[in-house]
Structure 1
Amino acid sequence: MSVTDVSAAPTNRRSEPAPEHSAPEQTSPSQRKRDAEVADLFRRLNQLPDDDPGCAEIRGRIVEHYIGLARHIASRYANRGEPTEDLEQAALLGLVKAVNGFDTERGHDFIAYAVPMMTGEVKRHFRDKTWAVRVPRRHQEKRSELNRTIHSLTQRLGRSPRMGELAHEMEMSVDDLSELMEASTAYSALSLDSPANDDEGNGLNLGDTIGGLDGTLEGVVEREALPSLLRSLPERERRIVLLRFFGNKTQSEIAADIGISQMHVSRLLSNALARMRRGMLEDG
């Protein structure tokens, strides 16, 4: 049994982001000037109590310095099926978290602290917002590893890896691997407006092929029981029922056809229906 690459998909469908760790190099004079200004803003921020109104203004100025960096990080994950605005919002959220959580006393560079925070928020956006069906988090996190392992083994073996080979490489059981591969197919889903694979060329969409509730199923038992119940009726009553409900005749027309009064037809019809109703309840 060979493994199909679960990451294979049209380019317009979502794909999970690849790992990003490094920050852009900060070497230009303008960047050094910016970093010096940010360092001064952090010093001023540390001198203020947390409830000081000036803290929000200083944090906002720090964020403004790195909006371009947040957009740059978001752009690394563009063309993966998610709107650029959403990715930028995720990166900016990470930037705000980095500003709020940065501790200057630890002696770390703010860029080294902020880039992983922004990258992490973008990856979290893909993990939490882009799956068509929510699956356990362990499967979400393993999907990228699964795709990388399949590509690696395919190149090494010159063919698609078998389930046992893939399970051994990922150090997991075949059953767990099967569950992971099944969950990975839930990452993206086709729209119900997508064309169906219709060999007859009827131009159907996937939504047109979905079955619906059949209201006639509820009457199957009654319809199957009806012939025997009709046969159990006296001949005249059976004829009246058939003329009324299968011949669509009125009681007046039935009375004229049989040669009795309309009141007599009504009484016989009521008796016949009551007898058939009791028969159905008894059989049920």
Structure 2
Amino acid sequence: MSESSIQTAAGPVRDRAQTEVVPYRPVSESAAGAAELATEYLGVADALARRFRCTGHDAEDLCQVARLGLLKAARRYRPDLGHGFVPYAVPTITGEIKRYLRDQSWVVRPPRGLQELRLKVRAVSARMTQTLGREPSTLEVARELGLEASDVAEAQLADAAMVGQPVVHTDLADDPQGFPEGVIPAVVDPGFERVEALNALARALRDASESERELLEMRFGEELTQEAIAQRLGVSQMQVSRLLRRILERLRTHMAA
């Protein structure tokens, strides 16, 4: 029987080459091919990373995340679907960046619903600021969203759980004006040492008698000389000196313990 005589209800049988199902094959089956495609569009990834720059995240880190998304898109891209690479890659890159910011930006992670509400509140606040010419109140934002003011306030407070400002030691810049915007310079506050010393002294003085406390007050509070203290107490200067030395040695021992 000849092939031309084989008929079906639907008509002649199609050639095998026409009916064979073509398996899914990405544009590049090798790492080198995907890397070559990604390299061609590095500028797209870098531009998207700049759009998402924010305080608390290093620009280089965002750039690396964007390029990782670009490489993922290059590995999955199928030109036979009829669209260009850029329209396909952009959602993949932005999704990668958003996941990174979502996962790495929280000091204390709030519930997912609160995270999403925070984004809505920020978007509405920005739009209302342009319309009103000022920042809207919590109540105004709540009315715009049709929510309770307490819910909006909670979403606004969620910003405090984001990654804090980077702290840079002052040795990195002699001029405070030279610090990048949003960077908090680290400084040594002498007040901390004073507070710690006073707390240690207070603990050491717990075992001191009333007369010893009065003696210390006259010497270091009123800044009297040993001779003046001796005259006030009716004792010799030598006795005052011995008493002070004994008290101070005991205090040093307690504070060093």
TM-score by length of 1: 0.45
Relative CO higher for 1 or 2, CA cutoff 8 Å, sep ≥ 6?
Answer: 1
TM-score by length of 2: 0.49
